[in-house]
Structure 1
Amino acid sequence: MSEEINDFAGEQDDDALFEHHRIVADKGQSLLRIDKFLCDRLPNASRSKIQDAIHNGFILVNNQPIKPNYKVHPLDVITVSLPEPPRSGEVKPENIPLNIVFEDEHVLVLNKEPGMVVHPGYNNWEGTLVNALVYHFQQLPEMQGNEGRPGLVHRIDKDTSGLMVIAKTEVAMMSLARQFFHHTIERTYYALVWGEPKEPKGTINAPLGRSPKDRRITMVYEGDMAPYGRHAVTHYEVIQSLRYISLLKCRLETGRTHQIRAHMKYLGHPLFNDATYGGDQILKGTPFSKYRAFVENCFSLMPRQALHAKSLGFEHPVSKQYMQFDSELPADFRAVLEKWEHYVTYN
């Protein structure tokens, strides 16, 4: 149900794909939409999940990408590949400390540290948030079709810090997933970006999808590609202008993989030190060596994209009371922001 859950399949940082299923259509196969064809043949596969996989390029027919309305022909060879190899077994519990902001018998709100992967996957089977959750909490619910990710109704990227809500019961999971689906959960992020946007406030409404050239990158689909992208909307507001960089508040309306990072790149203002989207280069400023040394020092202080999930608001699944949470910027983010404030004041 949740858009966040739908985007889980494409979260991995590695661009390799591993074949999970290979199906050859019969000689007498009648023309049938591929989502319906695969629903009948794959366990736990819903039509929406299959369509998401097609959008992400995980399903090929005769080694070629296809549209969700493609109709299977006789002897078509259909492959389903995913960013992680087939794996069985339960998630290993690990005693990893959690920064818990709020907890009751239904939900848990925590502040994720930068560098922590949210759930196990290829190259990251241990040390994830989910490994910690299964250690500290028993019998967390799982969304159908997303087994091995107990409690999760959304996620944030490995090197993004900030607030997440975890479902502790089935009732909570369904309620939160429904709120994500209907865009009623409030999520704001603080981001440091290169340059100063022309407009102090704005909305980026641009469909997103995986880059055909590099699956690790999300990009805006324009022109003929637009119908293949997934609806994505980000609202932004400039909080502070610091000559060569800006502090933005971004509010997510949808929750696509790398949404803010890709949308800000599209706007011409990549996140500061975002290596995936070109922000780890000096994109604004002077050619002087003193300035270059200053920026490189900032990169060292915050060796990740400057993005923090600052606030989170949702309706409690049981009491129906609206709950609002806010978080402080982490130490590395604050340190870099303070250095820039000092730089523009005295230079």
Structure 2
Amino acid sequence: MTAKTAADPGPESGFGSEPDQNLNDELLEILDEELELDEEGEVSDGSSAVTGPAGDPRTFELATLVFEIPRISGRQRVDAFLTTAVKYATRNRVQKAIAEGRVTVNGRKVKNSYGLLQGDRLEITILRPAPEAMQAEPMDLDIRFEDESLVVVNKPAGLAVHPTYRHWSGTLANGLLHHFRVQAGDMQAPFKPGLIHRLDKFTSGLIVVGKTDLAKKKLSRQFAERSTRKVYQALVWGVPKQPAGLLETNLGISRHSRMVMDVYPYQGKIGKEARTAWKTIECFEHFALLEVELFTGRTHQIRAHLRHLGHPILGDFIYGGVDGEGHQFEAKARCQSELLALIPRQALHAARLGFTHPLSRQWLEFEAPLPADIQAALAWLRQQSW
């Protein structure tokens, strides 16, 4: 069940409380980084600074999340919907917010048991940490191209693209801000890196960033109109029966977990259309290296589609790539221990990126070789006699 958004409500939108401490910190970080902005809930512009929970020195703000309810099966209770839709929410926190009058449907306060209908406008006011000013941080950047309009960077796995409410430093955007200020000779210059698209934190590869408002606008239009080229390489469990194929489905947030995208019928009423082409580059006994091209840019699109195809990406713990979901063979345990030691993240790399230069209108296409961890995994597979 999805809802549109204009901004990220942030990972600590749990009604003024920290997320449950028994949750794995890395899992929280990944969840924070990867869900697409337009899948979470619109945030109103009327945020205001307030005092946070007792003993918390941070500045907090009130913000209103807005959900427009799509077609749903039956009348889902409003407390059940919000428990699933808001990050780190619990049923108790949601019901407390309802009791305090911080939840409305179509402008009216409701009870926990209210059943949502298609077209309802659901609003909830939450308490969250106020955003901090982004800090410039020196960082070794693998820059593949740069001019006065844009920069193309080969992002390593493990580096988040931009700051979030939970992690305000150590991101690609922090490093780029430092890089641009050094170029300008002014370490206080009010420059904001123009992030046009994003890669998951643990996906490596190419990303383009605009340096001027005009470049940002024109590049953003190309991504929106799908006139760019995005080609990835992925090491997956199993060998596809066909050498190549095209997968067309809808993708939407899972009914069971907000951090997972599920496949729905193509051009149906649930989710958004997603088209992925793939072909096999190299085959092994129980694995394959695939080239994957995106024709849309949905959250977790490649990861969800390859799982749906029956070939989850090696190391992808969200989409079955750690235990090799659906694959059984005698040497499986050895493969898991050996390969996951070499590449302890999803084996997915943004290998090629093409777009039209926003000023010269020249078509540009860049390539980034597979990083060392995926190369090491491939080398190990090539040595096996099984």
Deviation at 1:64, TM superposition (A): 6.1
Q: Deviations over 1:6-47 (max 9, x none)?
A: 89849x8x6x64459xxxxxxxxxxxxxxxxx99x93399xx
Deviation at 1:112, TM superposition (A): 0.1
Structure 1 alignment gaps of length 5 or more: 1-5, 21-37, 67-71, 141-147
Cα offsets for 1:207-262 (capped at 9, x unmatched): 11112221111111249x94120111111111111121111111011111111001
Aligned to 2:154: 111
* 1:53–1:184 Cα change, 3 Å: farther
- Structure 2 partner of 1:245: 287
Other-structure match for 1:304: 345
Question: How far apart, in 1, do the equivalents of 2:163 and 2:294 lie?
Answer: 25
- CA deviations 1:65-109 (Å, max 9, x no partner) are 59xxxxx64625533479x93423311211121110100000100
C-alpha contact (below 8 Å) 2:312/2:324 kept by paired residues: no
Secondary structure of residue in 2 paired with 1:207:
strand
- Give the 3 Å change call, closer, same or farther, for CA 43–259 of structure 1 in structure 2: same
Distance 1:138 1:221, change over 3 A: farther
**How well do the aligned residues superpose, as a CA RMSD in angstroms?**
3.6
Structure with higher RCO (Cα < 8 A, 6+ apart): 1
1:136 to 1:244, Cα distance in 2 relative to 1, 3 A: same
* Identity over aligned pairs, percent: 37
From 102, 108, 116, the counterpart of 1:75: 108
Q: How does 1:3-42 map to 2 (within 5 A)?
A: 9=8, 17-18=13-14, 42=44
- State the shift of 1:202 in Å: 1.1
Give 1:326's aligned amino acid.
E
* CA 243–173 in structure 1, closer or farther in 2 if over 3 Å, else same: same
Conserved? CA contact 2:129–2:165, under 8 Å? no
| CA shift in 2, pair 1:292/1:265, >3 Å | same
- What secondary structure, in the 3-state scheme, does the structure 1 residue paired with 2:135 have? coil
The whole-number CA distance in structure 2 between the counterparts of 1:342 and 1:8 is 48
CA distance in 2, matches of 1:108, 1:161: 16
In the alignment, does 2:157 pair up with 1:124?
no
Q: Which residue identity is paired with 1:252?
A: L
| Residues 1:199 and 1:76: Cα distance change in structure 2 (over 3 Å) | farther
TM-score normalised over the length of structure 1: 0.75
Deviation at 1:198, TM superposition (A): 2.2
Please give the alpha-carbon distance, in whole angstroms, between the structure 1 residues aligned to 2:175 and 2:181.
11
In 1, the alpha carbon distance for the partners of 2:263 and 2:81 equals 18
Aligned partner of 1:198: which letter? K
**Number of residue pairs aligned between Structure 1 and Structure 2:** 298
CA distance 1:80–1:326, change in 2 (3 Å): farther
Q: Is the 8 A contact 1:196 1:244 kept in 2?
A: yes
2:345 maps to a residue whose letter is: R
**Structure 1 match to 2:45:** 43
- Alpha-carbon distance change, 149 to 250 in structure 1, aligned in 2, over 3 angstroms: farther
Change in 2 beyond 3 A, CA 1:117/1:73: closer
- 1:158 aligns with one of 195, 201, 217: 201
CA contact (8 A) 1:185 1:313 kept: yes
Q: Which runs of 5+ in 2 are unaligned?
A: 17-40, 48-64, 83-104, 111-121, 184-190
The 5 Å alignment of 1:115-194 reads 115-138=158-181, 150-194=193-237
SS at match of 1:137: helix
Contact map agreement 2:235 2:289 (CA 8 A) in 1: yes
Partner secondary structure for residue 381 of structure 2:
helix
Kept in 2, the 8 Å contact 1:61–1:76? The answer is no
Q: What's the secondary structure of 2:194's corresponding residue?
A: coil
- Distance in 2 of aligned mates of 1:210 and 1:81: 22
> TM-score w.r.t. structure 2 length?
0.68
8 Å CA contact 2:237–2:314 kept in 1: the answer is yes
- Could you tell me how far apart the structure 2 residues matched to 1:51 and 1:208 are? 21
